[in-house]
Structure 1
Amino acid sequence: MHADDPLLQILACPIDKGPLTLLEEGALYNPRLRRRYPIVDGIPQLLPTSGEPVPQEEPAVADE
């Protein structure tokens, strides 16, 4: 998945239904909830249970 992928325009967080940001390490990130969702073999894992919290001290840098 790339930053200009049109799929990113329709993907949403499974918890708050807000937009997600593509991270450099190949994950989707919700900055409002500070949760990261993995992308496995090109498929976003967007189940509420597949997200992992991002610690406050760990910076989440978006791929722009």
Structure 2
Amino acid sequence: MKTEMTVNGVSVCPTAEERHEYFTLALSPRRKKRLCQYDYRDADGELFSCVAPTLEECRAKRDTWLNNRNNK
């Protein structure tokens, strides 16, 4: 899969920024599913990455991740 979010399989998301792109997953010749790949790099440099059907769902997962990190 060609992506603008990675170079040699490594995320190029800058610090304190988010990036996303949509791609289509072919489950079979007739069934396809559109998904969003999402990367977010926190201000301290830690990377969060996920795949979900929509950008909104990805951001909700990111918010949960941030809340869990901040509560430790």
State the TM-score bracket (shorter-chain normalisation): under 0.3
Normalised by the length of structure 1, the TM-score is 0.27
Normalised by the length of structure 2, the TM-score is 0.26
- Whichever structure has more helix as a proportion of its residues is 2
Q: Relative contact order (alpha carbons < 8 A, sep ≥ 6): 1 or 2 greater?
A: 1
Determine which structure has more spread, i.e. the larger CA radius of gyration: 2
